[in-house]
Structure 1
């Protein structure tokens, strides 16, 4: 086991809203275990400001951050299209752990690249789907018994105001000069409905995949798909070859005009699980989880800490040899492939309907 004389050094790849509003505030609450030592960013003014807030070094390239010996753990917070490239680089750089924001990848080829790098390096990898590490969720898992085997309906609902509202609550966002705007010269340059739906599934529905797979573990088939404006989706899934006839309804709409409503529910004939998630970005404690049966018995869980804190502490424990990965690398890769399957199914239905 590694000595804990000093906190693990964290290097943050990218200095945007997720780094500033999620990871810096979270890591500030875990200073005895984790400390930001290096921030990489492409905007020199922004990265300098962000790094100065935590007394860290800053640089403009991935190579500089990965060469920094004070960095034990790398957090990949770059744009989605760069996640796989940066994860592979971090896994191959001799670092002790990697946390990647979701989605882990955007294609099967990228999943295969990550799988090879993870196998060769043996470095632990955690994906920042914070709900999978939420303390109330993990506590409920120990008590729900065979509920996943008996579940016949799963429902996920995400209705959120603009992200900027939560970011403003979490931090004073450092921003650079906006890039020049060049309007598209033809309609072909506008994102298609298919591209938008795929982005919705990979960018938002990936939050749902870890809990969904507890209750619909096999291959799921999308039987209905709709793109919602301005950003969202409505999907209906069935378990392929599932003797229990499981169905899942996944709904998301952003930005909403009312208060947040982010829930996950699973029904069996005599039991219902309900998870009410806290607001994203801010440190608002854990989800509230209730388990109710037809006799009126109710169990409930809620904790002061949240999934962001739990995922970081879990990775620190793994790196220091205190525990094994809660969600191992093969399961992480399977979750990503499951999400890609859903995206393919949904976009195929949308194409067929157009």
Structure 2
């Protein structure tokens, strides 16, 4: 018992692979508020100068080698904040290194094959993996979950709606998944640019809400994209359906509107609306509101004292010290498969729509 008390007195050590904007703007401030349970001990980045300057801010070691970080006995939890195509291999290496928990920024894999490999290694090593879908850790979402009753079974319409101010930082985050021409404005007459923009929109922005959508879509395996349009300069409008659900995904960057990020699930007798704060900034928790269809009753939950980024780290601490049970890796795989299939169908439908529009324009000209 006394041994356990001694261990409990020392915060768990965090090692971070990748010291870019997400690490600096999101994870370090969130971890700073949880200093009694978590402490950053090691930061790795391929750029030695970035690694050492970011590590110096938090009094951590720095290195340019993943193996050095994974071999550091002071690191209990590994956060993977590197470019997407490294995620799968780094998750697997961290599990094999015998760490207590792994956080991987989304998407944790680029295809189903990688996801299956991760799942197998997680099962074999017993290391819990958390994917950084911070909305699912937001106390506003968790309050909705406690109070929604049978809404996931009765909802007929689900909507994710995102309005962002034109902000280079948002754009970089959301599109780091696609390679963009380095200079000048994208050429929207080029079908490859449209496809990349749609892929980046779904896997960079919509992906935050797709695990939420999936919770309200029992027949999610039968999802079909009806319409997909690229919205300039950076956005999308996608209509989908399953045999029992209508799903609408929308995003736009617009200088004239205030930022807004909402998730809605609507049934005949009641509706849930969650107002999230914009991603990639530290801006407080979501607020969940339930409304009865006759307007007789509205109940709100939130805002709370912490946000989803902090919630994610609290979860990791609980998993690492054994007080929380990990969700199955299958959930993460289903979330990823759902996102990838929507992205793929969105790109195909959007490309066909673009080709038709171009042909029609050619005829009328």
**Normalized against structure 1, the TM-score is what?**
0.88
Per-residue displacement from partner, 1:237-282 (whole Å, max 9, x unpaired)? 101xx3xx31010001236553211101111001010011113233
Instruction: Tell me, in whole angstroms, the C-alpha distance in 2 between the residues paired with 1:164 and 1:6.
Output: 39
Alignment correspondent of 2:36? 32
Are residue 263 (structure 1) and residue 266 (structure 2) matched? no
Corresponding position of 1:100: 104
Residue correspondence of structure 1 range 5-154 to structure 2 within 5 A: 5-154=9-158
Q: Distance in 2 between matches of 1:290 and 1:50?
A: 39
How much does 1:287 deviate?
Answer: 0.2
**What secondary structure is seen at the aligned counterpart in 2 of 1:264?**
strand
After TM superposition, the structure 1 = structure 2 runs for residues 306-345 of structure 1, keeping only pairs within 5 Å, are 306-325=307-326, 327-345=327-345
Q: Considering only aligned residues, what root-mean-square deviation do their CA atoms show, in Å?
A: 2.5
**DSSP 3-state at the match of 1:273:** strand
Distance verdict in 2 for CA 1:29–1:89, change over 3 Å: same
Whether the 8 Å CA contact 1:166–1:279 is kept in 2: the answer is: no
CA change 1:81–1:222 in 2 (3 A) is same
For 2:59 and 2:30, the matched residues in 1 are separated by 16
Residue in structure 2 matched with residue 171 of structure 1 by the alignment: none
Whole-angstrom CA distance in 2 between matches of 1:338 and 1:159: 23
Q: Which moved more, 1:213-222 or 1:26-35?
A: 213-222
State the SS of the aligned residue for 1:269.
Answer: coil
Q: Which runs of 5+ in 2 are unaligned?
A: 172-181, 356-365
Residue matched to 2:274:
275
The number of aligned residues is 335
CA distance in 1, matches of 2:251, 2:41: 36
Q: Tell me, in whole angstroms, the C-alpha distance in 2 between the residues paired with 1:339 and 1:46.
A: 32
Higher helix share: 2
2: CA distance between counterparts of 1:149 and 1:321?
32
* CA drift at 1:122: 1.1
